[in-house]
């Protein structure tokens, strides 16, 4: 009866360290810990699929929280049902209400449903707050999204070096701006793009 760990974050920019450390502290061997950096809404996730392929009847998959397993209530309940059909238990270590599907009592069934519902509600509220913040920022004329890697002055200097002094873009990026070529090419392409007619 093996203990398998599972950790997930939604994007490649996010860090798995906290979840992996918690799983290790819970006694999960790193060799049997699987992870993904992708949305829980994806039907196929390499880490999750690998954990399912390895798991056998009587094993337990331990996740940081229940929302790491599925993005919506439906996805989560389907995942739990699929595991149960195979005789595999699911346990979480950081949910406000402890989840352990080895206990099939009505109270634990309710706990699974409640935790899944709360997680989906929190995601919905987070999306609404983010959309509101973006709308407010746009109305106030503030930039939205990731800060540009190069300032307008740096791009203008690069254009001068390229067009007037004939310096190759790769040299400008490396020796003058200390950025990757792709970063400078993207900035120049954005600047050189024709302005749409009004």
Angle between helices 106-139 and 73-85 (to 10 degrees): 150
40 and 67 in contact (C-beta within 8 Å)?
Answer: yes
158 and 176 in contact (C-beta within 8 Å)?
Answer: yes
Say if strands 33-37 and 3-9 run parallel, antiparallel, or are unpaired.
Answer: parallel
Q: Which residue among the candidates 10, 44, 143, 170 is catalytic per the annotation?
A: 10
Residue 45 CB-half CA count within 13 A: 25
Provide the token pair at 40: 């829980």
User: Is 10 one of the catalytic residues?
Assistant: yes
1 and 10 in contact (C-beta within 8 Å)?
Answer: no
Q: Where are the alpha helices (DSSP H) in the chain?
A: 17-25, 46-54, 73-85, 106-139, 152-163, 169-171, 181-192
Catalytic residues: 10
């Amino acid at each position: 009866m093996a203990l398998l760990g599972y950790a997930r974050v939604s994007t490649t920019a996010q860090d798995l360290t906290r979840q992996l450390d918690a799983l290790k502290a819970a006694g999960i061997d790193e060799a049997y810990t699987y992870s993904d950096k992708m949305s829980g809404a994806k039907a196929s996730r390499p880490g999750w699929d690998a954990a399912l392929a390895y798991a056998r009847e009587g094993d337990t998959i331990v996740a940081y929280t229940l929302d790491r397993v599925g993005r919506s209530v439906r996805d989560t309940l389907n995942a739990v049902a699929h595991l149960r059909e195979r005789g595999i238990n699911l346990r979480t270590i950081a949910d406000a209400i402890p989840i352990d599907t080895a206990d099939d009592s009505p109270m634990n069934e309710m706990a699974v449903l409640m935790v899944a519902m709360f997680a989906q509600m929190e995601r919905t509220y987070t999306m609404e707050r983010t959309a509101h913040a973006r709308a407010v920022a746009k109305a106030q004329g503030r930039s939205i999204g990731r800060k540009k890697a190069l300032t307008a002055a740096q791009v203008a200097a690069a254009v001068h070096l390229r067009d007037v002094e004939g310096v190759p873009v790769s040299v400008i990026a490396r020796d003058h701006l200390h950025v990757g070529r792709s970063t400078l090419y993207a900035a120049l392409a954005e600047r050189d793009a024709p302005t749409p007619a009004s």
